[in-house]
């Protein structure tokens, strides 16, 4: 499976809530840092987070923009929209590192507001 296919499969899991392939796509020693601070070290912590988060959150959209791979790292831009107590959305970027077995071994996420302005448009 290509890096792009692995990433697309992972994003789709949040929409379908079928996380059965997580141990195949992610390395046992995964380090996953979310865009708002929490970090999960190891597949056990990651699965605990997924179980908890998917019970309280419904992902409405997780749309991939660009995917750029160089050697063992891939950068993915995306738009995320979910519902918990309220519906929210934001743009994001993930930097993903793959190990020699083509599994994701590190994820670092970053977010930006989805609503953008152009304050100098008239300049």
Please give the pLDDT value at position 77. 98
Q: What percent of the chain has pLDDT over 90?
A: 89
Judged against a pLDDT cut of 90, whether residue 86 lies above it is answered with: yes
CA distance linking residue 26 with residue 17, whole number of Å: 16
Q: Quick one: pLDDT at residue 57?
A: 97
Segment 25-82, tens digit of pLDDT:
999 999 999 998 999 999 999 999 999 999 999 999 999 999 999 999 999 999 999 9
Residue 123 pLDDT > 80, yes or no? Answer: no
User: What's the mean pLDDT when you consider all of the chain?
Assistant: 95
pLDDT over 90 at 116, yes or no: no
80 Cβ contact list (under 8 Å, min separation 6): 59, 61, 62, 63, 89, 90, 91, 92, 111
Rounded (10°) CA dihedral 21, 26, 30, 35: -80
Domains within the chain, CATH numbers bracketed: 3-17+26-113 (3.10.450.50)
Q: What is the pLDDT of residue 114?
A: 79
């Amino acid at each position: 499976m290509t890096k792009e296919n692995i990433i697309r499969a992972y994003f789709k899991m949040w929409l379908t809530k079928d996380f059965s392939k997580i141990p195949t796509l992610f390395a046992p020693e995964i380090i996953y840092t979310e865009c708002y601070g929490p970090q999960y070290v190891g597949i056990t912590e990651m699965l605990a987070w997924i179980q908890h988060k998917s019970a309280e959150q419904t992902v409405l959209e997780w749309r991939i923009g660009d995917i750029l791979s160089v050697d063992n790292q891939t950068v993915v831009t995306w738009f995320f929209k979910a519902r918990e107590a309220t519906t929210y959305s934001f743009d994001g970027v993930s930097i993903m590192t793959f190990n020699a077995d083509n599994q994701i071994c590190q994820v670092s996420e970053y977010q930006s507001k989805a609503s953008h302005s152009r304050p100098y448009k008239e300049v």
